[in-house]
């Protein structure tokens, strides 16, 4: 049980680190946003799954799973809304500019 928990926590931390790296290193707004929206969601979900597993079948682990479900629904939705708002106010994707260059 401890080994599985540690594996989940390590995997979660790995994805969270990749998300941070993406925010720091990716070239444009939408690419950075997709690092947060995908990698960070998976990282947090894995960490919460590890915590729930470590707690065993208790009320606390059920609460943790509800938090995970809430995060699973809201983080991608927020990312989606932010990306739409950015597109609406005219933030251009890097690829769109690259395509127009001959």
DSSP H/E element including 80: helix 59-88
Size of the site for other proteins (CB under 8 A): 7
CA dist 12 and 77 (Å) reads 20
* Number of other residues whose CB lies within 10 A of the CB of residue 41: 20
Instruction: Tell me whether residue 21 or residue 70 sits nearer to other proteins (CB atom).
Output: 70
**What's the min distance (Å) between Cβ of 4 and other proteins?**
28
**What's the min distance (Å) between Cβ of 20 and other proteins?**
25
In the shown chain, the binding pattern of residues 53 to 92 toward other proteins, with x for contact by CB under 8 A and - for none, equals -----------------x--xx--x--xx--x--------
Query: If DSSP codes are grouped into helix, strand and coil, which group holds residue 72?
Result: helix
Q: Does 25 bind other proteins (CB under 8 A)?
A: no
**What's the min distance (Å) between Cβ of 24 and other proteins?**
28
Could you tell me the CA-to-CA distances from 77 to 24, 38, 42, 49, 100 in Å, in that order? 22, 11, 14, 21, 30
- The footprint of other proteins (CB under 8 A) covers 70, 73-74, 77, 80-81, 84
């Amino acid at each position: 049980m401890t080994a599985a928990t540690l594996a989940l926590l390590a995997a979660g931390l790995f994805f969270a680190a990749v998300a941070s790296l993406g925010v720091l290193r990716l070239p444009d707004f939408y690419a950075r946003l997709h690092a947060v929206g995908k990698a960070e969601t998976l990282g947090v979900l894995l960490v919460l799954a590890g915590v729930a597993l470590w707690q065993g079948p208790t009320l606390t682990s059920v609460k943790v799973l509800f938090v995970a479900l809430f995060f699973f629904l809201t983080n991608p939705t927020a990312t989606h809304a932010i990306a739409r708002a950015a597109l609406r106010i005219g933030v251009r994707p890097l690829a769109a500019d690259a395509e127009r260059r001959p």
